[in-house]
Amino acid sequence: MTDPSNLREAVLKQLATVQEPELHKDLVSLNMIQDLIVEDGKVSFRIVLTTPACPLRGRIENEARQAAMAVEGVTEVKVTLDAQVPADGRPRGILDLPVRNVVAVASGKGGVGKSTVAVNLAVALAKSGAAVGLLDADIYGPNVPTMMGVQRLPPPKDGKLVPAEAYGVKVMSIGFLVKPGQALIWRGPMLHSAIRQFLADVAWGELDYLVIDLPPGTGDAQLSLAQSVPLSGGVIVTLPQQVSLEDASRGLEMFKQLNVPVLGVVENMSYLELPDGTRMDVFGQGGGEQLAKMFGVPYFGGIPMDPSVRKGGDNGVPIMVSAPESPSAKALQDVAEKTAARLSVEALTKVSAPTIEVIE
């Protein structure tokens, strides 16, 4: 019979051959294997993923299971999955937010579906089990409260604003603080202090992800906003048509200028599926992918035009909740998983390369 300590060593060695496909390192050196128990040939361990929204969770689990099973003397393997989102390691400055990752959703111009993507991204991440906040910083049209079906904030507590909560997401919006229809004219310094207030004076609690819906465009207001938040990364939303390329390029340039990594490009309203199953390219074709290629950043895929997406926005029930199995919700889910995966890569390989800290 194999010596139990040797068997444990052999299992660990074998698990160290399994790569985390996004991070290009093995599970053992990433500290992702926890609670390894080897008893009478029976092996059990926990895999601690870097995000509960990991798109490759099935693959990682299978490969780890097969690796352990391949060790001579192992008769049974039990794997459980868990997640611990790593912080991006960027200094949060004096704001000292207990937020692990801050992701901004931006667009070169209005009406392309930026808020729709931000809302569904936040809901998808929350549904996966992450702690998520959504900050609507769209000073020109703060429509996140409508899209999330929340009208007002709960009363403040301990001198701090308390975010509203919907679909497991903590929601704060500039729209809660102004009367409906009130013209919003903001200048740089005002914006700066408003956004700082949103970050410092709101009881967000601990968050894995804070999603920020930026105002459309790439002017001073957007720049000032993006500068006042320690962003982990940005997601750009664009349309398929060629004329959108120039606008969206400016969005990418803005993040570059701020030294904020562009996590990926999302193409919204990619096509409309007709009743006979054919696809109609209402707004042209290929803009999102072309933009991503031009800048050498990931393309997160296209979201179809879908009347239920608009209805969901108007009724305050995001498509991710009302019809999670629809093609548009699945495309948005994919965007969320890719965003989370890119954030993990940024956190673990780019900034200060912390390893995953497992809290026992």
Ligand X SMILES: Nc1ncnc2c1ncn2[C@@H]1O[C@H](COP(=O)(O)OP(=O)(O)OP(=O)(O)O)[C@@H](O)[C@H]1O
Site residues, ligand X (CB under 6 A): 107, 110-116, 138, 141, 143, 216, 268-269, 303, 305-306, 309-310, 313, 328
Please check if 311 is assigned to a binding site.
no
Contact between residue 85 and residue 101 where contact means Cβ atoms under 8 Å apart: yes
Q: How far is the CB of 68 from ligand X (least distance, A)?
A: 43
Q: How far is the CB of 172 from ligand X (least distance, A)?
A: 16
Please check if 256 is assigned to a binding site.
no
Angle, CA 290 vertex, CA 289 and CA 292 arms, to 5°: 65
Contact between residue 149 and residue 316 where contact means Cβ atoms under 8 Å apart: yes
Q: How far is the CB of 236 from ligand X (least distance, A)?
A: 11
**Which of residues 199 and 237 has its CB atom nearest to ligand X in the complex?**
237
Sign of CA dihedral 198, 358, 353, 332: negative
**Which of residues 210 and 305 has its CB atom nearest to ligand X in the complex?**
305
Please check if 108 is assigned to a binding site.
yes
Chain position whose Cβ is nearest to ligand X: 110
Q: How far is the CB of 118 from ligand X (least distance, A)?
A: 7
**Number of CB atoms found within 10 A of residue 314's CB:** 11
Please check if 109 is assigned to a binding site.
yes
Please check if 113 is assigned to a binding site.
yes
**Which of residues 328 and 339 has its CB atom nearest to ligand X in the complex?**
328
Give which of 280, 279, 330 is closest to 303, Cα–Cα: 330
**Which of residues 45 and 167 has its CB atom nearest to ligand X in the complex?**
167
Query: b or e along 195-233 (b: 16 or more beta carbons within 10 Å of the residue's beta carbon)?
Result: beebbeebebeebbbbbbbbbbbbeebbbbbbbbbbbbb
Q: How far is the CB of 138 from ligand X (least distance, A)?
A: 5
Q: List Cα–Cα distances, 11 to 14, 40, 77, 332, in angstroms.
A: 5, 13, 10, 38
Please check if 115 is assigned to a binding site.
yes
Please check if 144 is assigned to a binding site.
no
Q: How far is the CB of 282 from ligand X (least distance, A)?
A: 10
Please check if 111 is assigned to a binding site.
yes
**Which of residues 101 and 115 has its CB atom nearest to ligand X in the complex?**
115
Q: How far is the CB of 218 from ligand X (least distance, A)?
A: 13
**Which of residues 45 and 271 has its CB atom nearest to ligand X in the complex?**
271
**Which of residues 14 and 115 has its CB atom nearest to ligand X in the complex?**
115
**Which of residues 93 and 219 has its CB atom nearest to ligand X in the complex?**
219
Q: How far is the CB of 179 from ligand X (least distance, A)?
A: 18
Q: Which residues are annotated as a binding site?
A: 108-115
Q: Which residues are annotated as a binding site for ATP?
A: 108-115
